[in-house]
Structure 1
Amino acid sequence: MSASLPDLAVVYEHPEWFEPLFRALERHGVSYVKVPLAGSTFDPAASPAPATVVFSRVAMSSFLRDPEHPIFYAQSLFEHWQGLGTRVVNASALNIDTSKARQMSLIARLGLKGPATRVAHRQADIPAAAQGLRFPVLVKADIGGAGAGITRYETPEKLAEAAGEKWCPVGVNGISLIQEYAPRRDGKVTRVETLNGKYLYAIDIESPGDAFDLCPADACLVRPGAPTLTMTKAEPSAEIIAAVERIAVEGGLEVGGVEYLVDERDGSVLFYDINGLSNFVANPVQVLGFDPHDDLVEWLKTIIADEKAKRGGDLAA
């Protein structure tokens, strides 16, 4: 590859979400190129990566903004670049990020607790799958984002009616989750962000009523119709932090978050969402006392340096 390549390519779909990242890259003097997925094509027999290191910023909520979303395309593109020897940061998170069913399986496999969940791929099977669950239940699309496609059903009859009319939420991959609704203690959930498999920070997010759109980033908060969120720095227990770090490592999240709530009914900690795309909290210095984008960029710089050293060694050999 050419020595004149930029250090980093940031591959993304949302046109506004990553301005804080771009500003941090500029503060730290990293040469980078923006690669929006709109308009992207590639040649499987060619098409080298546009930079020494590629950073995936693919959002699962992209299907809400464009029916021709890049979720599955990005997986093929990143695998192509990886096959050519390019380091694609956080591509490993896409397998877990693209399926809430896989997320819940991972949580259970690690011996952690989540809301009781069933998975179906036909609407006709949803009522039977819900048998044995406590109502109300939530039906979720397997690929979500920004709380999309989450509907609450109070009774088995209401669920059966919706499934019979094919009104229940279905993911863009045709899969639905049926999940016991758990009331949040103090009306809040906690989002724990990780970097390179280690705890970075945590925030409590409080929302009005049962809002499920809990994206904490600047660009999310200004969207028309977005719920009013209150975000405060949180201090999870060492046990919860250790659990989140296990989820991050086993789920392949190099940069990502895990959300949990405390069930008001019995005080149990329920892990319910794994996010392979971290939109860091708005006003981070005010909320956290530091800007996590600086930590992210410093870590990316070490990866870039490692890749350059590796390529230099390959050339020398």
Structure 2
Amino acid sequence: MTLTPRVYIIHENPDWLPPFTAAFLAEGVDAEEILLTKGSIDLDTEPAPGVYWSRMSASAHTRGNTHSKDFTRAYLCWLEQSGQRIVNGGDTINFEVSKVQQHRALRTAGFDVPTTVAVFGRDGLRERSREFALPFITKHNQGGKGLGVRRFDSYDAFDAYLASPEFEEPVDGITLLQEYLVAERPFITRVEFVGGRYVYAVRVDISAGSFELCPADACLVAPGDTPGDAPGDTPGDAPAAPFSLREGFDGDPLIARYEAFLAEQGIEIAGVEFIETADGRRVTYDVNTNTNYNPDVEAAAELPAARAIARFLGSLLPARVPA
């Protein structure tokens, strides 16, 4: 008897799976879900042969799956010690759930990053906030979905927020204080990579200032006191689709730099986000290793990213092995 290797998708949110299920089916790649919201690991057995792709999300706790990240770490340890091929493995999940780690890695690699201070607990936030020019923003270290991202135009408003029930307690206790970046035009760019290689770039409109537009932090700048204008929302900017392919980005020097960075970090599937500021900077602020794709962009792309993932993971599958 032989076992047929397949792709195993490790995750905690079935709502995100349908586009990938369709892509695997279209590419003829056999795939199976491993839902880590409950279950067990028989540590005295060997895992089934195949390729394991981790899609564990930093925002799992917002769906009641607070410990799924820890379960995933244990599961990935079992797989790694058994010599299985893992895409976005144990080191990557630590990267996914820590903006501190992302910031330091990006900065060390020479990317322009936002000025940021990480504060554990609530007590030090008031004092450290005075080091930032107004306006400034907050965000959660273990983010996703724009968790904890708020803009503050005055220190008094920030102090009132800290003292109020509205304060969003981070799941790991770490709040980031960060400089507020004003976009030259009202959009950010998300650059998608599969197998460590560039797939396409997405123009994400941020003029509405709502995180409902995308899972990226830049799509949510909730006002801390007064709404104000969205970043770069200048007169004469025509309304844009929330998501669209960014034309003319192929060949941009950032692509090769991001590919080298992801290779160094051992990350094979990711979306990297940057903003072009009014003062001429190109600031990289997020690496999302649990990337989701917009259906309109996928439909317009020459190679949809979900299909690229199915092809990439399928290419890693070994031949049939003895049971």
Does TM, normalized by the shorter one, top 0.5? yes
C-alpha distance after superposition, 1:288-311 (max 9, x if no partner):
233222221221122113xx48x7
Per the TM alignment, residue 184 of structure 1 is displaced from its structure 2 partner at its CA by 2.1
CA distance in 1, matches of 2:58, 2:7: 22
Write 1 or 2 for the structure with the bigger share of helix.
1
CA distance in 2, matches of 1:251, 1:161: 40
CA distance in 2, matches of 1:176, 1:96: 16
Per the TM alignment, residue 190 of structure 1 is displaced from its structure 2 partner at its CA by 0.5
Question: What SS does the aligned partner of 1:248 have?
Answer: helix
Q: Residue in 1 aligned with 2:252?
A: 238
CA distance in 2, matches of 1:271, 1:147: 16
Say whether residues 1:108 and 2:107 are aligned partners: yes
> What one-letter code is carried by the residue in structure 1 that aligns with 2:68?
P
Could you tell me the percent identity over the aligned residues? 24
Per the TM alignment, residue 128 of structure 1 is displaced from its structure 2 partner at its CA by 2.4
C-alpha distance after superposition, 1:222-248 (max 9, x if no partner):
xxxxxx961111133622212322332
Q: Residue in 2 aligned with 1:147?
A: 146
Question: What SS does the aligned partner of 2:16 have?
Answer: coil
> What one-letter code is carried by the residue in structure 2 that aligns with 1:255?
I
> What one-letter code is carried by the residue in structure 1 that aligns with 2:287?
I
Instruction: Answer yes or no: is the 8 Å Cα contact 1:5–1:51 preserved in 2.
Output: yes
CA distance in 1, matches of 2:51, 2:314: 10
Q: Residue in 2 aligned with 1:132?
A: 131
Per the TM alignment, residue 32 of structure 1 is displaced from its structure 2 partner at its CA by 2.2
Q: CA RMSD in A?
A: 2.5
Question: What SS does the aligned partner of 2:132 have?
Answer: coil
> What one-letter code is carried by the residue in structure 2 that aligns with 1:134?
A
> What one-letter code is carried by the residue in structure 1 that aligns with 2:40?
T
Per the TM alignment, residue 5 of structure 1 is displaced from its structure 2 partner at its CA by 4.6
Q: Give 5+ residue unaligned stretches, structure 1.
A: 218-227
Per the TM alignment, residue 196 of structure 1 is displaced from its structure 2 partner at its CA by 2.1
> What one-letter code is carried by the residue in structure 2 that aligns with 1:57?
R
C-alpha distance after superposition, 1:6-38 (max 9, x if no partner):
411111111121212111212222222222122
Instruction: Answer yes or no: is the 8 Å Cα contact 1:148–1:213 preserved in 2.
Output: no
Say whether residues 1:288 and 2:301 are aligned partners: yes
Q: Residue in 2 aligned with 1:222?
A: none
CA distance in 2, matches of 1:67, 1:304: 30
Instruction: Answer yes or no: is the 8 Å Cα contact 1:138–1:152 preserved in 2.
Output: yes
CA distance in 2, matches of 1:202, 1:40: 37
Per the TM alignment, residue 166 of structure 1 is displaced from its structure 2 partner at its CA by 7.4
Q: Residue in 2 aligned with 1:99?
A: 98
1:97/1:216 CA distance change after superposition, 3 Å: closer
Instruction: Answer yes or no: is the 8 Å Cα contact 1:6–1:32 preserved in 2.
Output: no
Q: Residue in 1 aligned with 2:221?
A: none
CA distance in 2, matches of 1:67, 1:294: 28
Per the TM alignment, residue 165 of structure 1 is displaced from its structure 2 partner at its CA by 4.7
CA distance in 1, matches of 2:15, 2:198: 26
Say whether residues 1:160 and 2:162 are aligned partners: no
TM-score by length of 2: 0.83
Per the TM alignment, residue 175 of structure 1 is displaced from its structure 2 partner at its CA by 0.9
CA distance in 2, matches of 1:192, 1:47: 39
Q: Give 5+ residue unaligned stretches, structure 2.
A: 217-239
Q: Residue in 1 aligned with 2:178?
A: 179
Instruction: Answer yes or no: is the 8 Å Cα contact 1:6–1:33 preserved in 2.
Output: no
Work out which structure has the larger RCO, using CA pairs closer than 8 Å and 6 or more positions apart in sequence.
2
Question: What SS does the aligned partner of 2:74 have?
Answer: helix
Per the TM alignment, residue 69 of structure 1 is displaced from its structure 2 partner at its CA by 4.5
CA distance in 1, matches of 2:6, 2:87: 13
CA distance in 2, matches of 1:16, 1:165: 33
1:143/1:285 CA distance change after superposition, 3 Å: closer
Instruction: Answer yes or no: is the 8 Å Cα contact 1:123–1:164 preserved in 2.
Output: no
Per the TM alignment, residue 48 of structure 1 is displaced from its structure 2 partner at its CA by 3.5
Question: What SS does the aligned partner of 1:81 have?
Answer: helix
> What one-letter code is carried by the residue in structure 2 that aligns with 1:254?
E
CA distance in 1, matches of 2:101, 2:317: 31
- Number of matched residues? 297
Q: Residue in 2 aligned with 1:199?
A: 198
Instruction: Answer yes or no: is the 8 Å Cα contact 1:233–1:288 preserved in 2.
Output: yes
Q: Residue in 2 aligned with 1:82?
A: 80
Instruction: Answer yes or no: is the 8 Å Cα contact 1:140–1:177 preserved in 2.
Output: yes
